[in-house]
Amino acid sequence: MFNSLPPLNAVRAFVAAARHQSFTIAARELHVTHGAVSRQIKTLEAHMGVRLFERQIRQVSLTVEGLRFFEQADAALRQIAAAAQLAMRQPPARVIRINVRPSFAVRWLIPRLPDFVAQYPGIEPHVHTSTLPPDKVTDSFDVAIRRGLRGWPASLQVRPFLEDEICVVGAPGLLDAHPLADPSSLASCVLLWSKTRKDDWDAWLRRAGVGPIKPTSQMQFDHVHFVLQATLDGLGIAITPISLASNDLAAGRLRCPFPDLTIPATRYYYATARDAVPEARYFVEWLESELARQNAD
């Protein structure tokens, strides 16, 4: 069948000329010369063994065979163009809905998401944040991540994820200007803390063997990621889960003045919804690989 196909460039030139009843206008449409259109049509007529145009001075018109061929060829070229557009169209994105707390989203998940997107370019991670436990969130999700085992729907299989600790952090410039010799010297600092983790300072000070202290000042924020931003800006010394400060600690934007003094933090867990999209498994596999990479560092 394909051996009987006429040259497609010649068919394209013929269809343009037949549509306009003019070689000149067809040439302008195709960005070629009048002579090139004429030669293509002669080639097509030779291939088919029929005359397609009646040629007169400054005028051309279709023969009966030319009109019959034009009706079919024009439709065929349009179909080819439509097929090409369909093939070039991007497939619809596959979406994974990930439900996490705001601080975990900002400080742990989002900085690492470029790696997931690079590995799975056809999948869009949609990050939804909530401070509610998974069994209370109103938006559906494919994967949820939270600290601890409380507040999970009984229908979900919850898996352990990230172990964590609490530490003290400060901006390098602030710590260089006001070195902390020991935990008791925190009394001369502005202490930063989150109302969602209001007991962390007391627990850490007990672990450090320091009684209650009266700092120079204190600043409270709604979430840990606000606390860490204030710490980066040099407003004071913060108490924070290491997981949420890990990127800034690794990059040297924050420093831990007492690296050997930490207290345990509740572990993170994750679960996949029962009606999760199939692509959720790729995100879970990526989570596990990130955990393995972090533990290896």
pLDDT at 90: 61
Beta bridge partners of 55: 60
Distance CA 221, CA 237 (A): 13
pLDDT at 271: 96
pLDDT at 239: 95
pLDDT at 83: 84
> Given the DSSP bridges, would you call strands 237-241 and 190-194 parallel, antiparallel or unpaired?
parallel
pLDDT at 6: 87
- Residue 281: is it exposed, middle or buried by C-beta count within 10 angstroms (0-12/13-18/19+)? middle
Domains of the chain: 2-88 (1.10.10.10), 94-163+267-296 (3.40.190.10), 164-265 (3.40.190.10)
pLDDT at 293: 85
Those residues of the chain that have pLDDT short of 70 are 1-3, 89-93
Give just the sign of the alpha carbon dihedral 121, 124, 130, 133: negative
pLDDT at 91: 59
Specify the pTM: 0.67
Distance CA 11, CA 289 (A): 55
pLDDT at 215: 85
| Residue pLDDT, tens place only, 145-173 | 999 999 999 999 999 999 999 999 999 99
pLDDT at 2: 53
